[in-house]
Amino acid sequence: MLNKIKSVMIANRGEISLRIIRACQELGVKSVAIYSEADKDTLPVKLADSAVCIGPAPAQASYQNQEAIISAALAFGVDAIHPGYGFLSEKADFAKKCEDNGIIFIGPSADIISKMGDKIEARKIADSASVPTIPGSDGAVTEFKKALEIAESIGFPLLIKASAGGGGRGMRVVESRDTLEQDLNEIMSEAEVAFGDSSVYIEKYLTDIRHIEVQLLADGDSCIHLGERDCTAQRRNQKLVEEAPSPALSTSQRNDLCQSAVRLAKKVKYKSAGTVEYVYDNIDKQFYFIEMNTRVQVEHPVSEMITGIDIIKEQIKIADNQVLNIKQEDIVLSGHAIECRLNAEDPENGFSPCPGTISYYRPPGGFGIRMDSHLESGYTIPPYYDSMIGKLICWGADRNEAIIRMTRALSEMKVEGVKTTAKFHSKLINSEQFKSGNFNTVFVASLLEKQH
């Protein structure tokens, strides 16, 4: 089925390594897992067509060791490297090394990775593609009069940041017009004194937001979207629960959002799977671009479940230089999907990680259930990497069925020997606020507070 890629080295571990191995096997491509000494007895190593030990346990010496991975790819003669997520997936220099060594990097070019990895550059591209960005000054403003003008045009509350500031210094939220002139005056003066530079950035200050992102597939020429995912349920900026479609968007908002993401990708002739991230302001019902992720994401299965599109297989086919053979009109969003990221963490104890041995593991099953996990009975979670033990994805004909099915699956699943976040997830998705669909990024924190 593939032309150039006959073998893929998976430069990752855990569930995403397994996910990619499965995609390779379905594409008829040889899968070569890499593993650190800490991971030698894991499911990806067992299920891959072959496996190569690339270094000792610490990630810097193994999964983040670019030299070791490129060397392994060359020595073992693979055609392509899939970086998964995390580790080297958004390192432009690694993509460059692959390119330089004649290895296909399954992702966009090094050039696009670095362009999109630069927030200021990315915002400029977004602006040029008419993708809404958070209203604010185009860069630093030096003149008081100009700053006042911009601030008045943006509306309130707004955020003033000293250009030379950072880490919270030289930053002020302005709640209303009443204090604008004085605030602006003060912060510019202070900045002049403190940093010798009075210039400021001015930005709309968003207080009630959701996190919504759009999944894209692009072959460098055409680009389609697979709808959006809503990742608003976060704890300390860590996504906990993702779902699709977003319960916040109307059909026309969805269409606008997704079209804007496609415009952005087309602007840079994007070529791979990718995600455009937005904040959605619950108050003014507007979405604003924040960044583009140039890799496959943890939560990609949520989009797979509602579209039937295998994102990893499509991503590999694009890397094989194939033309996208799915048209936008072929994509039908069907039902609702929710993903819970299950971690070996103790929710009763500040979510502290609980590495250890899983004495017994029983995945949940049945209609609409997908458990992407590298767990097995007897598996020992090593202390070197993150604490995610798997992703439970549930599909339902509607959001309500998806929540109920997830609840059923969470209680059916059995992970013995370590503490997990399963019960916490069950509480979260069954909270009145989550069920209502009406919440923002602070919701999980307040849920946790209520419990104490």
Partner 1 sequence: MKDFDISLNDLKQLTKWVKESSDIRELSLSYNGLELFISRNESTQRSVSSDAAGTPVTTAPAPSKQEQPELNKPTIAPTASKSSPTADVSVAENEHLITAPMVGTFYMSPKPGAPAFVEIGQQVEPKSVVCIIEVMKLMNNLEAKVNGRVKEIYVEDQQPVEYGQPIMLIEKE
List residues with catalytic annotation: 295
The Cα–Cα gap between 122 and 110 comes to: 15
Contact code string over 384-413 relative to partner 1, x by CB under 8 A:
--------------------x--xx--xx-
Is the Cβ of residue 134 or residue 358 nearer to partner 1 in the bound state?
358
Asked whether position 60 contacts partner 1 by CB under 8 A, the answer is no
Q: Give 158's DSSP letter.
A: E
Is the Cβ of residue 199 or residue 373 nearer to a copy of itself in the bound state?
373
Binding part of the chain for partner 1, among 63-71, 111-119, 132-140, 258-266 by CB under 8 A, reads: 63-71
Q: Binding residue for partner 1 (CB under 8 A) from 11, 20, 29, 264?
A: 29
Asked whether position 332 contacts a copy of itself by CB under 8 A, the answer is yes
DSSP-derived secondary structure for 408-439 = HHHHH-EEESS--SHHHHHHHHTSHHHHHT--
The answer to whether the CB of 20 falls within 8 A of the CB of 373 is no
Q: Comparing C-alpha atoms, which of 66, 67, 65, 86 is closest to residue 17?
A: 86
* CA angle (292 as vertex; 3, 71 as ends), nearest 5: 50
- Distances in Å between the alpha carbon of 276 and those of 230, 338, 353? 12, 19, 30
Asked whether position 87 contacts a copy of itself by CB under 8 A, the answer is no
For 233, the token pair is 């349920």
Q: Binding residue for partner 1 (CB under 8 A) from 143, 182, 416, 446?
A: 416
Contacts of 326 (CB under 8 A, 6+ apart): 217, 224, 309, 314
Asked whether position 219 contacts a copy of itself by CB under 8 A, the answer is no
The Cα–Cα gap between 305 and 435 comes to: 20
Contact code string over 123-162 relative to a copy of itself, x by CB under 8 A:
----------------------------------------
Residue that has been written with the tokens 């003014």 in this structure: 284
Q: Give the shortest CB-92-to-partner 1 separation in angstroms.
A: 18
Handedness of CA 235, 241, 245, 248 (dihedral sign): negative
Contact code string over 339-368 relative to partner 1, x by CB under 8 A:
--------------------xx--------
Asked whether position 41 contacts partner 1 by CB under 8 A, the answer is yes
Q: Give the shortest CB-7-to-a copy of itself separation in angstroms.
A: 17
Q: Binding residue for a copy of itself (CB under 8 A) from 58, 132, 247, 335?
A: 335
